[in-house]
Amino acid sequence: MISPEDRVLVAVSGGVDSMVLVSLLSRASIKVGVAHVNYHLRGVESNDDQQLVEAYCQKNNIQLHVREVLPEEYATGESIQMVARDIRYKFFDQLLGDFNYSKIATAHNANDNLETVLLNFTKGTGIAGLTGIATIKTNRLIRPLLFARKEEVYQYAKENSINWREDVSNEKNDYQRNRIRNAVIPELKKINPNLENTFEESLIRFKGSADLVDGQVKNLEHYVEESDSGITITTEWVDYGNASVVLLAELLKRWGVPFGMAKNIHQSITSQSVGALFETAGWLLNVDRGQLIIKPSQPGFSIREKIHEKEGELKVLGGLLKWEKVDGNQLPQSIEKTTAYFDFDQLVWPLSLRQWEQGDRFQPLGMKGKKKVSDFMIDSKIPVTLKEEVLILESESRIMWLVGYRADERFKISTTTRAMLKVEFIQNA
């Protein structure tokens, strides 16, 4: 965690854990400085905490940095705990830059770890939440005291005559963590007096399991294909087992999919519920045939454009629509789906480009009767996530083209055609 050349900034509140941590690091001949934040939330007690830390640093010749929080700084609309945390870490980051510290050390201990895991388990966390507090959170944030149980911390403080102050608010059950500490853990220890030791063994198992899951998720990356238009995940590996549910959930976390939704997606995949649609903040996930299609959501977007000129181009939906007049009626031997030709003399200008709507009907090229656009999309197996982006090109409210899919029979090229309108949609242009 710490190299000989490191300068470590120790977060010291005045409580027993942080006072013991700075003592241990100092005795190990590590270059340390102390950061103390006075939140002024407990009146005289907050000031007494600061005075204790100041006296310790002065006695031991340790550089001290103090941040005093003003009452108006809490008026942000967020909880006091969140504001205090934000102030604390911004202060630490500032000190790193201003005083050339290379690490920040906080005094979390083994009991904090147990409380965190129980709290995460109660809230319904993933496997990562059961691995506890990381010893090294980042290259700069370290927790060197995680090995020690609370009773060992107290014992060290007493044996080495280290003064500390108890935060009486820790005895109140106003906060979730305090209820875990003061009410839940004592009951668990009645069942298992050796709770801390068995928890440390379980933590090794949890961490090992999490590593195995991470490895399996990395192996699934070759099923994920990303492009400018979205993400496609091939789902051939998904089966009915619980392991498959967990792996799918871990894979989908990056798109903000909670575990409950991942379970429903898994069920839709295994039951082949083609068209099932799920939405997270910013993403649409569509279960398709043998694949899961993920696209950025575009809430409330609307496309309605008028095309007046006989030749031009228009940027739309991340692509480019181009059109031009072509003399004659000679069609190429092969025509891509992204290109369509229309009898120029059958068109009434201006043309319109819009999103498809329920109730739209057209006569697909090669068919005698009309068909609902919605039915055509189902028959063509167009994924739900792409349906909202299907565009209609029309002339005088008559559909000419489901852009990129099928032209209309009524505007087809014939032997009497004298000129054509060529329209092309270039994706990701």
Tens-place pLDDT, residues 325-353: 999 999 998 899 999 999 999 999 999 99
pTM of the model: 0.65
The predicted structure's pLDDT at residue 186: 93
Q: Are residues 190 and 49 in the same domain?
A: yes
Q: Are residues 58 and 176 in the same domain?
A: yes
Q: What is the pLDDT of residues 276-316, one digit of tens each?
A: 888 888 888 989 889 999 988 766 567 888 998 889 999 88
The predicted structure's pLDDT at residue 406: 94
Domain termination residue (choose one: 182, 200, 218) = 200
Distance between CA atoms of residues 363 and 368, nearest Å: 7
Q: Which alpha helices (DSSP H) does 255-314 contain, by range?
A: 259-270
Q: Are residues 31 and 174 in the same domain?
A: yes
Q: Which two tokens stand for residue 174?
A: 């106003």
pLDDT interval class at 385 (50, 70, 90): low
Task: Report the domain count for the chain.
Answer: 3
Q: Are residues 280 and 345 in the same domain?
A: no
Residue 291 is part of which domain span?
Answer: 228-296
Q: Are residues 271 and 353 in the same domain?
A: no
Strand duo 63-68 + 31-38: pairing = parallel
Q: What is the pLDDT of residues 243-280, one digit of tens each?
A: 999 999 999 999 999 999 999 999 999 998 887 888 88
The b/e string for 70-102 (b: 16+ C-beta within 10 A; e otherwise) is eeeebeeeeeeeebbeebbeebbeebbeeeebe
- Paired strand residues for 224: 233
What's the chain's Rg over C-alpha atoms? 33
Q: Are residues 359 and 381 in the same domain?
A: yes
Q: Report the CATH number at residue 142.
A: 3.40.50.620
174-180 own/partner pairs: CB under 8 Å, 24+ apart: 175/81, 176/119, 177/115, 177/119, 180/115, 180/118, 180/119, 180/122
Contact 312, 353 (CB under 8 A): no
Q: Are residues 130 and 259 in the same domain?
A: no
